[in-house]
């Protein structure tokens, strides 16, 4: 069930990013904005920040001349932030598959620009399409999760917040893995992890780094047991094709808006 207050905050951030585009900040079109962070995992508190991720397109001149993609971050007085990612970079990351590159797909809080909404809804509202869009490199998803967890040890943040991040990574990986291909019982949450994470964020959990290490160890052990089955290989092939189609559809609209017919249109 969506929280209208969170949805409104995401919509507000979307409009701010659009205003930045109108001020010629290196991009022209804002395609979508989605919620990232604790609210997606049930780890928020009453005053938790509402962080967002926006996919954008460059000006047409920058696009055709191959100007490098833009990535920016807007920091707000309340401590929240809006990450801005060029669509070209986003799809490069999507093909590599990692927790950070797929999180924008998985949230229930998304704002679409009307001109691109039909394509986003077609690919993101279908469970099958969404599954394939996020499964282009399953091994890398597992290894990237481990890498992100290891990276938490060196970050300058409270131990409780580190554990909260680890829980998010762990939860995402568990939901991501296809139990039909590989049993995920070893990764199954015992029901206490979310409570531990909330307690850690509130400073009420003793030695949260112990729990963080336990989670990392479980994922590492699972990674050694994981077998890339024939079905999983087929999934990756279909995933790469699905990503290509999704990307081409979005750029097709973009080219049409600028008076051009895309190669995709010419082939259909």
pLDDT digits (tens, 9 = 90+) for 148-171: 888 887 788 887 778 878 878 887
Do 250 and 205 belong together in one domain? no
Whether residue 181 is predicted with pLDDT greater than 70 in this model: the reply is no
Do 100 and 198 belong together in one domain? no
Do 169 and 56 belong together in one domain? no
pLDDT at res. 267: 47
Do 205 and 124 belong together in one domain? no
Compute the CA torsion angle 93, 95, 99, 104 (nearest 10 deg). 70
Range of the domain at 105: 4-136+233-267
Do 150 and 246 belong together in one domain? no
Percent of the chain with pLDDT over 90: 24
The whole-number average pLDDT for the span 193-218 is 76
Q: Which residue has the tokens 């399953």?
A: 138
Whether residue 262 is predicted with pLDDT greater than 70 in this model: the reply is no
pLDDT at res. 38: 79
Residues 186-201 pLDDT 10s: 555 555 666 777 777 7
Which spans in 23-158 are helix H? Answer: 60-64, 87-96, 99-106, 114-124, 127-133, 138-152
How many structural domains does the chain have?
2
Q: What rounded mean pLDDT belongs to the chain?
A: 82
CB 129 within 8 A of CB 242: yes
pLDDT at res. 187: 56
Do 13 and 131 belong together in one domain? yes
Residues 35-63 pLDDT 10s: 988 788 777 777 778 999 999 988 888 88
Do 130 and 142 belong together in one domain? no
Rounded-to-integer distance, Cα 56 and Cα 99, Å? 20
Q: How far is CA 130 from CA 101, 136, 155, 237, in A?
A: 13, 11, 31, 15
Query: Residue 248 contacts by C-beta under 8 Å, 6 or more apart in sequence?
Result: 262, 264
Rounded-to-integer distance, Cα 141 and Cα 137, Å? 6
For the ranges 90-99, 150-159, 170-179, 226-235, the lowest mean pLDDT is seen at 170-179
The whole-number average pLDDT for the span 219-246 is 87
Do 132 and 142 belong together in one domain? no
pLDDT at res. 159: 79
Query: Residue 266 contacts by C-beta under 8 Å, 6 or more apart in sequence?
Result: none
pLDDT at res. 8: 93
Rounded-to-integer distance, Cα 266 and Cα 263, Å? 5
The whole-number average pLDDT for the span 58-81 is 86
* Helix/strand/coil for 35: strand
The whole-number average pLDDT for the span 212-220 is 81
Query: Residue 10 contacts by C-beta under 8 Å, 6 or more apart in sequence?
Result: 33, 34, 35, 50, 52, 109, 110, 111
Do 159 and 187 belong together in one domain? yes
Rounded-to-integer distance, Cα 207 and Cα 159, Å? 8
Do 111 and 24 belong together in one domain? yes
Please give the backbone phi and psi of residue 85, each rounded to the nearest 5 degrees, phi first: -130, 125
């Amino acid at each position: 069930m969506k929280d209208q207050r969170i949805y409104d905050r995401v919509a507000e951030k979307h409009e701010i990013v659009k205003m930045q585009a109108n001020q010629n900040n290196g991009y022209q079109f804002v395609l979508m904005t989605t919620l990232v962070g604790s609210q997606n995992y049930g780890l928020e508190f009453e005053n938790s920040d509402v962080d967002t991720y926006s996919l954008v397109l460059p000006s047409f001149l920058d696009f055709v001349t191959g100007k490098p993609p833009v990535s920016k971050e807007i920091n707000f007085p309340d401590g929240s932030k809006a990450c801005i990612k060029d669509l070209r970079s986003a799809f490069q990351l999507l093909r590599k598959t990692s927790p950070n590159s797929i999180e924008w797909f998985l949230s229930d809080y998304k704002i679409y620009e009307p001109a691109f909404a039909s394509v986003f809804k077609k690919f993101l509202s279908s469970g099958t399409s969404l599954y394939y869009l996020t499964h282009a490199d399953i091994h890398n998803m597992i290894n990237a999760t481990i890498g992100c967890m290891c990276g938490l040890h060196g970050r300058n943040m409270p131990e409780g917040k580190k554990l909260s991040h680890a829980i998010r990574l762990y939860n995402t990986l568990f939901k991501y893995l296809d139990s039909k291909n590989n049993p995920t019982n070893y990764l199954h949450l015992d029901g206490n992890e979310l409570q531990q994470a909330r307690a850690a964020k509130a400073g009420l959990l003793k030695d949260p780094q112990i729990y963080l290490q336990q989670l990392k160890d479980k994922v590492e052990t699972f990674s050694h047991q994981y077998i890339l089955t024939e079905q999983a290989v087929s999934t990756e092939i279909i995933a790469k094709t699905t990503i290509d189609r999704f990307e081409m559809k979005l750029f097709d609209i973009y080219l049409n808006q600028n008076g051009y017919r895309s190669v995709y249109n010419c082939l259909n």
